[in-house]
Structure 1
Amino acid sequence: MNAAATADSAHIVGNPVLIVVDIQGGQAQADAGDGGIPSMSGRLERRPRVRRLIDRCREGGIPVVWIQEVHKPSMIDIGRELDGAEGVHCSEDDPDTAIAAWLDPRPEEFVIRKRRYSAFFGTELEIVLKAHKADTVLLIGGLTDVCIHYTAVDAHQHDYFVRVLTDCVGGSTERAHGYSLEAIEYLQRDALITADDVHAYIDARLAESARA
């Protein structure tokens, strides 16, 4: 863990919820994009960090919510997504649309299917966050410049504190990744944190609980 990380450096306000956005691919092991979606390098390197973070959030009592992009095979529900750089992706009959096999959503955790980039758009995410009495959302997954970005914007507009873990997200390109993080930080000055920041926050939270 980075020695500079402290409980305060996570800037977590009130009750946090970890939102795992679109880490899909089923049994696929390749460090590549999902279906027709381009992806910057580094996905394999991020896996242990993401895996450890999810486990640690569970240990620290932070709810984990899973987001999965899914479309009908006919793509009747994909809207304007194919107007951009992406090809056909996340069809419900494609095994690679499943949440990545190295992850393990638990029965008590919500798995929310979405059909647009934002995890808020047309989904029950707002209901789930209210059920958890969430104040701060922690975002990990991808793509930084697409689903992370638009979910962060909607979370901001729903008055949540947004924290994007910069070492647990990846974009379509390094350039797009960086620009999107800048745009998110423009909305909330403390929005960009790291996995080490969250670990330090959880360590402090568990220590305080042990003293109580």
Structure 2
Amino acid sequence: MPLQVTDTTPSSDLKPHGNVVLVVVDIQGGGQPSSFGADKPGYMAGRPERNAKAVDMVARFRDKGVPVVFIQEVHKPSLVDIGRELDGAESVHCVEGDPRTALHPGLEPRPEEYLIQKRRYSAFFGSELDIVLKGYRADTLILIGGMTDVCIHYTAVDAHQLDYRFRTVSDMVIGSSQRAHDAALRAMKYLQRDALVTLEAVDTWLDALPTPATTEEDA
């Protein structure tokens, strides 16, 4: 029988391999009132706190010269590109032009950074993400954002199948429910034993990195 993963305790040690890239998955909303939250039964709370920490986290990665890639789910108003996403629990979402589809304020990519717009749950499916990561010579992907059981999970699965190592920051992802969040964390740990880490583990790793020298051109 396959191994059953029951312990989803995140590690306090990042254990990265090779080059690291932070992948910020679908932290959207454009600063608009969220349709998810404590007022919706079953949905996990804590999105505003996570979003604020994500802004700080991105700033720290930039300060240390570690690449950041931003992911945004977007669909045309015609929904010609939404595929089978409405066959399940989803309603119409992430429509182009809707203010709630925009990235969370403070998470706007810089000119030299990549914004990957996707039409499916996985950030890899039908996108240029793999090409971009190969350009960075990435080995280990750090995943934050949402939802744990949907876009984070499916992105992690494709990362695994493309031979990347991934680290899901368990206190920087939020699921469609606590139960779904926990199940997705178990599924990801089944794929890679070191898959789950804490934000503290990431901060400790960043603290140990040297700060790149600033040139006059950068100043």
Q: Same fold (TM over 0.5)?
A: yes
Q: Which residue of 2 aligns with 1:123?
A: 127
Of Structure 1 and Structure 2, the greater helix share is in: 1
CA distance, structure 2, for counterparts of residue 66 and residue 47 of structure 1 = 14
Is 1:96 matched up with 2:100?
A: yes
Is 1:87 matched up with 2:94?
A: no
CA distance, structure 1, for counterparts of residue 154 and residue 80 of structure 2 = 22
CA distance, structure 2, for counterparts of residue 101 and residue 178 of structure 1 = 28
Q: Is the 8 A contact 1:20 1:67 kept in 2?
A: yes
Q: Is the 8 A contact 1:185 1:192 kept in 2?
A: yes
Q: Which residue of 1 aligns with 2:67?
A: 63
Aligned residue for 2:23, secondary structure, equals strand
Report percent identity of matched pairs: 58
Q: Is the 8 A contact 2:27 2:51 kept in 1?
A: no
Q: Which residue of 1 aligns with 2:203?
A: 199
Q: Is the 8 A contact 1:22 1:141 kept in 2?
A: yes
**Deviation for aligned residue 1:30:** 3.6
Render the CA deviation track for 1:72-112: whole Å, top value 9, x for unaligned. Answer: 10111111100111100011021111111232321111001
The residue identity in structure 2 corresponding to 1:202 is L
Aligned residues, how many? 199
**Deviation for aligned residue 1:31:** 6.7
CA distance, structure 2, for counterparts of residue 175 and residue 182 of structure 1 = 11
Q: Is the 8 A contact 1:65 1:110 kept in 2?
A: yes
Q: Which residue of 2 aligns with 1:157?
A: 161
The residue identity in structure 2 corresponding to 1:151 is T
**Aligned Cα RMSD in Å?**
1.8
**Deviation for aligned residue 1:39:** 4.3
Is 1:22 matched up with 2:26?
A: yes
Gaps of 5+ in 2: 1-10, 214-219
Q: Is the 8 A contact 1:31 1:43 kept in 2?
A: no
Q: Is the 8 A contact 1:156 1:187 kept in 2?
A: yes
Q: Which residue of 2 aligns with 1:142?
A: 146
Aligned residue for 1:81, secondary structure, equals coil
Q: Is the 8 A contact 2:71 2:118 kept in 1?
A: yes
Give the TM-score, by structure 1 length.
0.89
Gaps of 5+ in 1: none
The residue identity in structure 2 corresponding to 1:22 is D
**Deviation for aligned residue 1:161:** 0.5
